[in-house]
DNA sequence: GAGTGGTCTAGACCACGAG
DNA sequence: TCGTGGTCTAGACCACTCA
């Protein structure tokens, strides 16, 4: 037997799917809905929570619950085609970059395969699509690979990309690990997502032909809007099929 | 100011991290904990819900709340190295496969780039690691590529892999789309995960050199245990850097 | 100030698991 | 049967938004 919560969530989901509740529209207040469905407000709120993690409803404290506008999906393209990973070209993204010099701690040292406390340049990137926060990226590069001017005049977004593709030795391999987890409180607030919504977390390592890790990135994308796409081509040589 | 819920969740998380609550151990009952923390049971339950989506606590109706044993991570390796995508070799996975003949609906037809209602063979794979459900895979192959015996004697897991790598024309490209979403009720129950825990959903298309999609797969992995790893190599030719 | 959602309470009743 | 978690109630009080 379906619970009241799920039954109400199903009904509201249907009202959204069939357009009886339109994108951007405000739902009746929680107390009104609770009265309509003849349940208590906590029960009704748990129904809304279901729709919230599905990305169908957006809550705004003091204003109401709103049907989410059909969300433009974010597509992360893997494989190092764009080093920053964002399809920054087609969507008008505004990006703020903070550049800092830090020292590798335990986690970062392992990621970049450098000794602990070796100097790194951190690019902290927050991209917006209009008013809406879009994604969060922390990119780490060994200091000798980052332009010395980066601290004073931050690179434009993607500037590090062209910088790296001209390296010697050249780039050889991109390794990306995708996982899903709840956002940290900071991530939830900067991305303006509910802490109940999972994020897509991508850890990227880029290495050159000498095996040196020239870049590592920690990317965080809101789980309800983000996809990551990876394309791998098989290469045929004389001996058989390889990768 | 942190809410009571978060404060209690933080405290319990700390008790788990420092080993004062050990893996597999049963927590005090919810009413006991509520009394200890001097909150009502709904408040305490919401704290446990936080730890639950973080994968630290497991609830068992009628038995209690348990600290999760450190979970062996599932790593999906992308790029078609193993067509089934599971690292079946090193972990003792038992897999049940159900083979069915179906007709492509709208979604599947688009995925396989075939006309609607063209015949497909579906491999419904549920893998277990010991007692614990591990992952769910629905693999679709055009009927003429699936061995005719598949319906009577289901292929061993991975059998379709070797079948496909020997194709003519040979395989050319694997395209994988990773996204995160809440599980469907069926997925939640077959994978034995809470419906509040997001899953990693991977849609895979494998094409041959003629551009024909020879396989499509819908993979579902529990979000608290799963990673997906993609490795891309750059190929250098005389003209410059390519992929 | 009026209305909204956010948090929390102190219970009630039901469903499940184990002895 | 007993203790457990699962669901739900009918409120209270606070914080936020907007007129």
Higher pLDDT, B156 or A141: A141
H or E element that contains A7: helix A4-17
Residue nearest to nucleotide C11 (CA to C1'): B40
pLDDT at A187: 87
Evaluate whether B27 touches B65 at the Cβ level (below 8 Å): yes
Residue B240 lies in a domain: no
Residues B150 and B211 in one domain: yes
Asked whether residue B136 falls in the same domain as residue B198, the answer is yes
Contact B170 A234 (CB under 8 A): yes
Which residues in chain B, range 95-114, keep a C-beta under 7 Å from any nucleic strand C atom? none
What's the first-to-final CA gap in chain A, in angstroms? 50
Q: Is the CB of B60 under 7 A from strand D?
A: yes
Could you tell me if B60 and B78 lie in one domain?
no
Which residue's alpha carbon is at the shortest distance from the C1' of D16?
A: A62
Residue B241: predicted pLDDT: 53
> B67, B83, B98: which is the final residue of a domain?
B67
Q: Which of B178, B198, B234 sits opposite A172 (nearest CB)?
A: B234
Last residue of a domain, one of A67, A87, A117: A67
State how far the Cα of A99 lies from the Cα of A109, in Å rounded to an integer. Answer: 18
Sign, CA torsion B155/B221/B64/B67: positive
Helix, strand, coil % in chain B, rounded to nearest 5: 25, 40, 35
Could you tell me the CATH number of the domain that includes residue A59? 1.10.10.10
Last residue of a domain, one of B67, B84, B115: B67
Interface of B with A (CB under 8 A): 42, 53-54, 78-81, 165, 170-182, 196, 198-200, 223-224, 226-236, 241, 243
Give the tens place of pLDDT for each residue, A188-215: 888 888 888 899 999 999 888 888 888 8
Check residues 1 to 30 of chain B and report those whose beta carbon is under 7 Å from nucleic acid strand C.
Answer: 3-5
Å from the B3 CA to the D15 C1': 13
Q: What percent of chain A has pLDDT over 70?
A: 80
More confident residue, B213 or A169: B213
For residue A99, the cross-strand partners are A123
Q: Are residues A114 and A133 in the same domain?
A: yes
Chain D bases closer than 7 A to any CB of the protein = 3-12, 15-18
Q: Which nucleotides of C are covered by protein (CB under 7 A)?
A: 3-12, 15-18
Task: Quote the pTM value.
Answer: 0.86
Averaged in consecutive runs of 10 residues, what is the pLDDT profile of chain B (243 residues)?
A: 87 91 90 90 93 91 90 82 51 75 86 86 83 85 69 49 60 90 87 88 90 90 91 69 55
Q: Check B227 against A174: CB less than 8 A apart.
A: no
Q: Evaluate whether residue A240 is within a structural domain.
A: no
Phi and psi, residue B33, nearest 5°: -60, -40
How far, in Å, CA of B231 to CA of B104, rounded?
31
Of the ranges A79-93, A221-235, B92-106, the best mean pLDDT one: A221-235
Q: Same domain for B96 and B13?
A: no
Distance CA A205, CA B231 (A): 9
Q: Which domain holds residue B62?
A: 4-67
**Within this chain, do residues B54 and B82 fall inside the same structural domain, yes or no?**
no
Helix (H) or strand (E) holding A170: none
Give the gap in angstroms from C-alpha A207 to the nearest C-alpha of chain B.
10
Claim to verify: residue A143 and residue A163 sit in the same structural domain: yes
With a pLDDT cut of 70, the percent of chain B lying above it is 80
Same domain, B53 and B163: no
pLDDT at A168 over 70: no
Quick one: pLDDT at residue B229?
A: 93
Q: Kindly determine whether the C-beta of residue A61 is less than 7 Å away from any atom of nucleic acid strand C.
A: yes
Tell me, what CATH number does B213's domain have?
Answer: 3.40.1410.10
Dist. CA A243–CA B195, nearest whole Å: 37
| Cross-chain CB nearest to A172 (options B200, B224, B233) | B233
Which residues in chain B are contacts of A236 at CB distance < 8 A? 170
User: Do A187 and A123 have their domain in common?
Assistant: yes
**Record: contact B198-A180, CB cut-off 8 A:** yes
Query: Does any domain span residue B83?
Result: yes
CB contact under 8 A, B226 and A180: yes
- Measured between CA atoms, the residue of chain A closest to residue B55 is A181
- What is the SS3 assignment for A160? helix
Task: Please name the helix (run of DSSP H) or strand (run of DSSP E) that holds residue A123, with its range, or none.
Answer: strand A119-129
pLDDT digits (tens, 9 = 90+) for B147-198: 655 544 444 445 555 555 555 667 788 999 999 999 988 888 888 888 888 9
pLDDT of residue B210: 84
- Domain contains B241: no
Domain count, chain B: 2
pLDDT for B48? 93
Q: CA-CA distance, B150 to B164, in Å (whole number)? A: 14
The answer as to whether A242 is a domain residue is no
**B30 and B139 share a domain?**
no
Same domain, B63 and B78: no
Q: Are residues A139 and A207 in the same domain?
A: yes
Question: Is B227 domain-assigned?
Answer: yes
**A241 assigned to some structural domain:** no
pLDDT of residue B85: 45
Q: Does B226 sit within 8 Å of A230, measured CB to CB?
A: no
Nucleotide C2: closest residue by CA–C1': A62
Query: In DSSP terms, which residues pair with B174 in a beta bridge?
Result: A232, B206
Q: Which class for A223: exposed (0-12), middle (13-18), buried (19 or more C-beta within 10 A)?
A: buried
**Structural domain contains residue B201:** yes
């Amino acid at each position: 037997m379906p619970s009241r919560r799920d039954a109400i969530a199903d009904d509201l989901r249907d009202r959204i799917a069939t357009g009886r509740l339109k994108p951007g529209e405000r739902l009746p207040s929680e107390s009104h809905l609770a009265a309509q469905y003849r349940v208590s407000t906590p029960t009704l709120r748990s129904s809304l929570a279901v729709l919230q993690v599905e990305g169908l409803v957006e809550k705004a404290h003091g204003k109401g619950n709103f049907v989410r506008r059909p969300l433009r999906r974010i597509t992360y393209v893997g494989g190092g085609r764009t080093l920053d990973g964002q399809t920054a070209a087609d969507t008008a993204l505004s990006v703020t970059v903070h550049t800092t010099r830090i020292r590798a701690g335990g986690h970062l040292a392992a990621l970049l395969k450098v000794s602990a406390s070796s100097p790194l340049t951190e690019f902290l990137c927050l991209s917006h699509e209009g008013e809406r926060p879009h994604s969060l990226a922390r990119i780490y590069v060994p200091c000798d690979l980052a332009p010395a001017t980066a601290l004073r005049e931050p690179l434009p977004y993607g500037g590090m990309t062209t910088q790296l593709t001209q390296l010697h030795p050249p780039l050889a391999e991109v390794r990306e690990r995708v996982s899903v987890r709840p956002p940290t409180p900071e991530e939830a607030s900067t991305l303006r997502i509910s802490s109940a919504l999972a994020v897509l977390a991508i850890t990227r390592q880029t290495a050159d032909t000498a095996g040196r890790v020239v870049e590592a990135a920690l990317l965080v994308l809101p789980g309800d809007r983000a996809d990551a796409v990876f394309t791998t081509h098989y290469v045929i040589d004389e001996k058989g099929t390889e990768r």
